[in-house]
Structure 1
Amino acid sequence: MKLVITATLAATASAFAPAASTVRTTPSLAASLNGWTPDESAFAWGLPGSLDPAPEFDPFGFAKNTDLQTMKKWREAETQHGRVAMLAAVGMLVTEEPIEYHPLFEADNKDIGPAIRHLDEVRAVEPLFFLAFAAFIGALEWNRALKGFSKPEGEFEFQQIEDDYYPGDVGFDPLGLKPKDSADFAVMQTKELQNGRLAMLGAAGMIAQELQNGKEIFVNLGLAQDRFDPSSVPIQF
């Protein structure tokens, strides 16, 4: 676990280094696809995400001879899973010892335990909130489907991506961080992808660790006191 966290922090910093872009722009596609022109001869159809020291990393050859529609679906899935994993990785560390910030629990009265069981506690104490939370996630996914996926009519393929939809660009940018220049956008997306990939590995490692012994991350690292009493929560560990 120490190696996972160290590698995550180190590689996250390197992800903010300038990245070479393989994006090719044309005036006709610059507005709809953020300057990206699909290039069958390029790795992953020229999508951003390749970064030194391991450019075009694809040991199992998933991107080889892959059609454009499939490649866009894979990039859409990778981007969304990376975003969720980044939130999960930060959320797990913040809600556990020694920080223990959680808007749903009175952490000052008792230790709330490992983050992998927090939603179980929510469901046990307040099922309606859990259902509302699930409905909120469903609404976000519904909006993403309307934004980027084709309607099931005519010649339709399951999970068919719209031709003018750039994978992951759901239009959510409340802080206005999205670059207008296509080259800058490619660099920013590469950073997002790299951090998302690391977060998926990091979150998976933390979840596996907590499932293995039921202890919080910093407790496992010896950096926090283990104050958790399983009998203090309405679920079985």
Structure 2
Amino acid sequence: MQLRMRYSNPLRPCWIFDPLGLSEYVPTDWARRAELSNGRSAMLATVGWFWPKVFGTFDSQDVTTTDPIDAILQADPQWWAQFVVLCGVFETWKYKAELEGKSFLGGAEPAVDYLKLYPTDSKGQEDLKLKELKNGRLAMIGIAGLLSNHFIPGSCPVPPF
């Protein structure tokens, strides 16, 4: 195992852990964008895990459980078809915005900012990006823990939720 030092900012060195040397083969910007995208998905998955247990299920004859994995298996295929179509609409909107020079994953003007919460100064933008990246990492670890605790009871030192 080795620690490699990489400077993203000369005033603030950044230590990275890369024992396999994967950063030599994968562009750093692509990896960061992929991590941000997966982190956003994990944040939504974490909300989706707790939502039915806190607020209950929708009025449906298909899904009768608040267990997230059982609910996935009980859902009617038409709901999955609608979900896939909705994801396709969002992806199309995302790519259209990227063709216009906007971005969902950083590097350009945000494609969606209805509440005008995106900072205008560069320091605020960097702070917001770092917060989102760290929250995404935490959500990825959290959803992995919830899944492992579901499939391997007692694997995590928390009670099943």
TM-score (norm. length: structure 2): 0.71
Is the counterpart of residue 122 in structure 1 residue 75 in structure 2? yes
1:144 equivalent in structure 2: 94
Cα contact 1:79–1:167 (8 A) shared by 2? no
1:197 partner letter: R
1:205 equivalent in structure 2: 145
Structure 1 CA distance for aligned equivalents of residues 84 and 103 of structure 2 = 26
The 3-state SS of whatever aligns with 1:139 is helix
Work out which of the residue numbers 2, 14, 23 in structure 2 matches 1:56: 14
TM-superposed CA distance for 1:135, in Å, is 0.7
Cα contact 1:86–1:196 (8 A) shared by 2? yes
Is the counterpart of residue 192 in structure 1 residue 132 in structure 2? yes
Pairing of 1:64-83 with structure 2 (within 5 A): 70-83=27-40
Is the counterpart of residue 89 in structure 1 residue 46 in structure 2? yes
Q: Which deviates the most, 137-146 or 195-204?
A: 137-146
1:134 partner letter: V
The 3-state SS of whatever aligns with 1:58 is strand
2:65 equivalent in structure 1: 112
Cα contact 1:72–1:167 (8 A) shared by 2? no
Cα contact 2:42–2:139 (8 A) shared by 1? yes
1:221 equivalent in structure 2: 159
Cα distance, 1:75–1:148 mapped onto 2, change above 3 Å: farther
- Across the aligned residues of Structure 1 and Structure 2, the Cα RMSD in angstroms comes to 3.4
Work out which of the residue numbers 57, 67, 73 in structure 2 matches 1:102: 57
Structure 2 CA distance for aligned equivalents of residues 165 and 56 of structure 1 = 28
1:199 partner letter: A
TM-superposed CA distance for 1:128, in Å, is 2.0
Identity score, percent: 25
TM-superposed CA distance for 1:57, in Å, is 4.9
TM-superposed CA distance for 1:56, in Å, is 3.0
Deviations 1:77-135 (A, max 9, x none): 11111111111112212222xx24333648xxx96142123232223xxx222201111
TM-superposed CA distance for 1:173, in Å, is 2.0
The 3-state SS of whatever aligns with 1:189 is helix
TM-superposed CA distance for 1:72, in Å, is 2.1
Structure 2 CA distance for aligned equivalents of residues 172 and 58 of structure 1 = 31
Work out which of the residue numbers 109, 115, 118 in structure 2 matches 1:175: 115
1:94 partner letter: W
Deviations 1:14-53 (A, max 9, x none): xxxxxxxxxxxxxxxxxxxxxxxxxxx733xx5xxx9xxx
Highest RCO, 1 vs 2 (Cα 8 Å, sep ≥ 6): 1
Q: Structure 2: state its 5+ residue gaps.
A: 1-5
1:42 partner letter: Y
TM-superposed CA distance for 1:71, in Å, is 2.1
